[in-house]
Amino acid sequence: MTTRNFTFTCLLLSSLTLGACRTDDDPIADSGGSEDGELAGEPCEPADDPVDESSCVALDTDYRPADSTPDMYPACISDGGVYELIADPPGTIARIVAYDTIATLLWRSGPPSPADFTAARTAYELDEGLGSRVDRREDLHYPPIPMAEWDPGLDPDKQCANSTNAANHPDRCVGPTQLRPLINAAFIAGMSGAGDPNVHAARINAGLLWFSYLSVYKEAYTCVHTAKDCDSAWAYYTGGAQVDGALLGFAEIVARHSPTTHQRIFAAILAVRCFRDLYSINDFPTYDDLPSEGQQLFEAALQQLDAALARGFALGLRAQLLAHDGDQCAEALDANWAYVEIVGRALDREVRERDPGAADELLAIYELDAPTSADLERAVALIDLVIPCA
């Protein structure tokens, strides 16, 4: 089990007087519960089967900072392959450090105890921390709330805080309508000691990965009118690391399953940063202020990022589907399938846009109580067919 960066995050939590880091010899931390009162089994490790991406090639419109092949981008700040900050290091980095702390407490170190869930919830609820952004996350793949429905007392980017708006636009307002209830319910169940702690942890894991996937795209999208959001997109993906650095969060997961896809996501983040370098926010403060070639460049960067993120998100799902039929999941099948159901449904929009028939078939598999080896193999095949490359 990986414990990278655990010492750092423990020091961070200690400095904030949380005082709740797990250790291998902590008898409380090792006492996971289950519905029948017996100890829960080991959490499910994702499969490490190699992914064949030999046929994947960059599009003509893609930014390729590490490739000698010319691309459509003029020379810019990203060409060295290093992300250069626009503003001060974003607070997003601390949120992804909190994610890493939660991961170590709940699914990297054996079955979690109620005390582990309490400590993880504290890390989640830090002021201006991860929980605050989950609560207000919007999925910008869906249409915005019409201005006629706006709450005049809320900023344009916080309209989902209005409960009526959220109820009327549940896909756009994914944070308050789907992510927050999912994650909060799992924390409460885990802290109470009821049920299988691995299932509660898996639901939190899936919810936070879903949040991360949406957040990278959202911050890149709003970078067109808020330049520092470019920095947040980079931080939500890597936790503040360069492409070959000490990755946290979403980037660590993607890089573990596919270094190629990780490189592609990072290149797309650099593409957004390149756009912002070429078209200064001071001269072009909104999308409408951009010349047509600037709009084209921004849209190409965003499309490159969206495709790469979808592949990265799909790889995490793919690994858990493959693991479900292996020995590494023998003690945590319910937990693994809870993760598959959540991430699979979160990926449904992307799959459905590309192949509605495959989307329907995948949803039918996720609804199974006891999927067979053939079901799992079919799901992986469909994912690879519909979202094959970044």
Distance CA 369, CA 338 (A): 10
Contact 363, 348 (CB under 8 A): yes
- CA distances, 192 to each of 67, 106, 115, 116 (Å): 52, 14, 9, 11
Distance CA 253, CA 338 (A): 18
Contact 384, 318 (CB under 8 A): yes
Q: Which amino acid is at 230?
A: C
pLDDT of res. 54: 75
pLDDT of res. 328: 75
pLDDT of res. 390: 66
Q: Which amino acid is at 131?
A: G
How is residue 345 written in tokens? 């449904």
Please give the backbone phi and psi of residue 267, each rounded to the nearest 5 degrees, phi first: -60, -40
Q: How far apart are the first and last CA of the chain?
A: 28
pLDDT of res. 68: 63
**Count of all residues that appear for the chain in the document:** 390
Angle at 36 between CA 33 and CA 42, to 5 degrees: 45
Distance CA 390, CA 308 (A): 4
Q: Kindly give, in sequence order, each residue whose CB lies less than 8 Å from that of residue 39, ignoring residues fewer than 6 positions away.
A: 31, 32, 33, 111
pLDDT < 70 regions, the chain: 1-39, 66-68, 390
Residue range 215-244, pLDDT digits in tens: 999 999 999 999 999 999 999 999 999 999
pLDDT of res. 141: 97
Q: Kindly give, in sequence order, each residue whose CB lies less than 8 Å from that of residue 267, ignoring residues fewer than 6 positions away.
A: 62, 63, 64, 65, 66, 304, 308
How is residue 217 written in tokens? 């795209």
Distance CA 360, CA 366 (A): 10
Q: Kindly give, in sequence order, each residue whose CB lies less than 8 Å from that of residue 349, ignoring residues fewer than 6 positions away.
A: 141, 171
Assign residue 299 a region (left: φ > 0; alpha: ψ between -120 and 50; beta: otherwise). Answer: alpha
Contact 324, 371 (CB under 8 A): yes
pLDDT of res. 90: 96
Distance CA 243, CA 265 (A): 9
pLDDT of res. 41: 82
> Directed axis angle between helix 197-222 and helix 259-278, to 10°?
30
Q: Global pTM?
A: 0.88
- CA distances, 198 to each of 33, 146, 181 (Å): 9, 40, 18
Distance CA 5, CA 12 (A): 11
